[in-house]
Amino acid sequence: MPWSDTLDPYGRTISLGGYSLAAVLAVSEIVILALALHPNVNADYRAYYIDRTTTCLNRDAIGSYSLGQTVSFRSDGAKLAAGMIVCGWSGPVADGTHSLGETSRLRLQIPPLRNGLKATLQMAAVIRPPQITQRVMISVHGVSVHKVTLSGKEPTTVSFVIPHAAFSNARTFEMAFDYLDGIPPSQAASNIYKRSIKLVSFRLDAV
């Protein structure tokens, strides 16, 4: 028998209890929904998981590095390279560390400097016809420092100068690689799986 149909005092009490429970459930669910619609997360979480504005989820990785040192991003340099990798990389493997997604980042500790730096990178393009070139925009702490178009399967050595102003205020050195021609594994695949370059080696020299 429906609770509401009962007219005796017990029935009314049960009915009232039922409505109260329904009200508590409804209010709780509305409150929880409201909380969920206003997530309390940091900018990195929001950018990657919620807004999806980046494919590279920032982490607190900082690699140790000595200026003038060439770090291999092939399997043989895995230990050193792994410390510098923030996000957007897969590997290292035999032919280098593969970029993953639309952006990759490296972060390392360098001593305080008075002048700029010269970066020397060895990179190879990931090619799948008709995509035979890869455009890469390299920035340091958000300041664009170099643009390069890679072509061919063989690694290309790229050198450029990083002005001191780009990293003078930062406590660490952070380099980002943005890819304009990433190749997704399939049409329907997520952009986190795009492939663009293979980083083979990395070197910084004081200018």
Partner 1 sequence: MSKGRTNNPVTTVKSTGHAPWVKDPKHFEIFRDYWQGINEHHLIAAAVVAVPLMFGITGLAIRYAAVASMSVEPGFESYARALCRWDCHWYVDISERGYERFPIPNQSNVGRWGFFPFYPMLVAVIRGAFPFPTILVATITSIACSYAACLVAWPLLEKNMRAYVLYCAFLLSGPFSFHFTTFLSEPLFVLLTSCVFLALKRSSYLVAGVSSALLSATRLVGVLVVFATVIQMFQQHRERGGSTLSFPRWVLGRPDLLVAVLISPAGLFAYILFLYVTVGDGFAFLHVQRAFGRVAGNPLLFLWDGLSAVPTTGWLPTAPQWSALAAITGLALSVVLVARKQYGAGVFCAICIVLPLITNLASMVRYVIGLAPLIMLMAVLLSASKLTWLAALVLFLGACYFMTLAWIGGYLALV
Binding footprint of partner 1 on the chain (CB under 8 A): 2-4, 15, 17-19, 21-22, 25-26, 28-29, 32-33, 35-37, 39-42, 44-45, 48-50, 52, 57, 59-61, 87, 187-193
Shortest gap between Cβ of 83 and partner 1 (angstroms)?
11
Percentages helix, strand, coil for the chain (3-state, rounded to 5) are 25, 40, 35
For the bound state, the minimum distance from the C-beta of residue 107 to partner 1, rounded and expressed in Å, comes to 12
Question: Which residues, other chains included, contact 71 with Cβ-Cβ below 8 Å and sequence gap of 6+?
Answer: 65, 77, 80, 81, 84, 201, 202, 203
CA distance linking residue 158 with residue 113, whole number of Å: 22
C-beta closer to partner 1: residue 89 or 167: 89
Q: Nearest approach, Cβ of 108 to partner 1 (angstroms)? A: 15
Question: Between residues 10 and 112, which has the closer beta carbon with respect to partner 1?
Answer: 10
Q: How far is the CB of 53 from partner 1 (least distance, A)?
A: 11
E strands along the chain, which residues? 63-64, 70-72, 85-87, 89-93, 96-99, 103-109, 117-125, 133-140, 143-151, 156-162, 173-179, 197-206
Within a 13 Å sphere around the CA of 1, how many CA atoms are in the beta-carbon half? Answer: 10
Which is closer to partner 1, CB of 67 or CB of 93?
Answer: 93
Least Å from the CB of residue 160 to partner 1? 28
CB-wise, 13 or 168, nearer to partner 1? 13
Select 106 or 117, whichever has its Cβ closest to partner 1.
106
